[in-house]
Amino acid sequence: MSGVLVIGAGGVGSVAVHKMAMCPEVFLHITLASRRIGKCEAIAASVKHRTGVTIATAELDADDVAATAALIEAVKPRLVVNLALPYQDLAIMEACLKAGVNYLDTANYEPRDEARFAYHWQWAYRERFRAEGLMALLGCGFDPGVTSVFTGHVRKHLLDRIDSLDILDCNGGDNGLPFATNFNPEINIREVTAPSRHWEKGEWVEGPALAQKQVFDFEEVGPRNMYLMYHEELESLARFYPEIKRIRFWMTFGESYLRHLEVLGNVGMTRIDPVMFEGREIIPLQFLKAILPEPSSLGAVTRGKTNIGVIATGEKNGQPRTVYVFNICDHETANAETGNQAVSYTTGVPAMIGAALMLTGQWRGAGVFNIEQLNPDPFMDQLKRYGLPWQVKEMPAPLAF
């Protein structure tokens, strides 16, 4: 019982298993399972070629709890890392409980028929995991994930109190394609087209999607338009850091991406309700996903950098202070190491680090945890060690907007 079972053979799953294979002292046995065995085998071949490590593969429909529990019982991992889609979260958590194994994911549960991601469905599992002495770790990607740990680091080491927090997610990369999403297109488009929402003085403030824009000059990327959005870590940060009066999330988008999205929305291609086509029901957004490039295919064509971090304003030793903690990741460097672009890399590496901290017992507990509830220090150390170095910058003043 010393191995890990990774479910989901997309861009994020690919990065995670490559990085796990590079850390054999922790990950003694790696199994990659996904809906299509061919994708697992292609990743296994790349892992073998790049690292010399052999990983096992399996075909699995993770919506099927009994099949997932049976695979866990056959593989006997100490941890299941869920890098499939948010729709599978509850089924995989059920299977983990059934088979008596720990759980980790990077995105919170979302029902298929409603674009409404939220934590309450997974938080409801807390007592069941606690009763079994098992640990479930939620949101261990970059955002949520690293940005939540950055917030914990700020609160532990840089500020005595945080008053406002802004999460800034910039992808300055260019893949040369007119329209391609850098993580699962269906999940990405559901997220981007949802109304904006931020936390202000104990309440959620809602607005239309992509209506509020600011320009920010990102280090090593340059000035970019970023848009106020709802993002899942706002919910857990507001819960676990009740002192923070305002929490906002901003993401950059290029003109071409937004223009395509608007047209696709106008013609109904982003709808998630079924429509009849040639005698059978199809979901327009799922059809669109099928014809868009897979995120895992963008590694070789993406140039530029991501820059993602948090700006926190508060007080240190009675004095006002604003700090900016961020990571810059280069698409081409990420691709050279694992064959995947930086958005998959910045999600797969934190998943691997969270898994390593759980397997080595540095992060332990019984119940369901969000990443910001755990000690940020070992995670911050390992980010530097495993390819996501971070920087802290003193800001002369709080954000002016």
User: Which parts of this chain interact with ligand NDP (CB under 6 A)?
Assistant: 7-13, 34-36, 39, 60-63, 83-86, 88, 106-107, 141-145, 183-184, 187, 294-296, 344, 347
Residue 82 or 102: the one with the smaller Cβ distance to ligand NDP is: 82
For ligand NDP, the closer of residues 21 and 159 by Cβ is: 21
Q: How far is the CB of 60 from ligand NDP (least distance, A)?
A: 5
We find the least distance from the C-beta atom of residue 226 to ligand NDP, in angstroms, to be 16
Strand pairing category for 275-277 and 203-207:
unpaired
Residue nearer to ligand NDP on the CB measure, 60 or 312:
60
Torsion angle, alpha carbons of 84, 104, 30, 69, to 10: -70
> For the chain, how many residues are written?
401
- Residue 232 or 321: the one with the smaller Cβ distance to ligand NDP is 232
Q: Which is nearer to ligand NDP, 143 or 372 (CB)?
A: 143
Closest distance between ligand NDP and the C-beta of residue 150, in Å? 13
Q: Tokens representing 153?
A: 């680091």
Those residues with Cβ within 8 angstroms of residue 308's Cβ, 6 or more apart along the chain or in another chain: 142, 143, 146, 147, 167, 168, 169, 170, 326, 327, 329, 346
DSSP-assigned beta bridge partners for residue 226 = 214, 252
User: Is the CB of 13 or the CB of 314 nearer to ligand NDP?
Assistant: 13
Query: What is the signed CA dihedral for 388, 392, 397, 398, rounded to 10 degrees?
Result: 50
Which residues contact residue 351 at a Cβ distance below 8 angstroms, ignoring those fewer than 6 apart?
Answer: 12, 16, 81, 83, 104, 106, 140, 141, 145
d(CA 58, CA 10): 14
Least Å distance, CB 31 to ligand NDP, is 13
Minimum separation from the CB atom of position 250 to ligand NDP (A): 15
Shortest separation between residue 159's beta carbon and ligand NDP, angstroms:
24
Is the Cβ–Cβ distance between 129 and 135 less than 8 Å?
yes
Q: Which residue's CB is nearer to ligand NDP, number 6 or number 159?
A: 6
Report which residue's Cβ sits closest to ligand NDP: 10
Least distance in angstroms from the C-beta of 400 to ligand NDP: 27
Bridge partners (DSSP) of residue 368 are 136
- CA geometry: angle 98, 14, 134, nearest 5 deg: 25
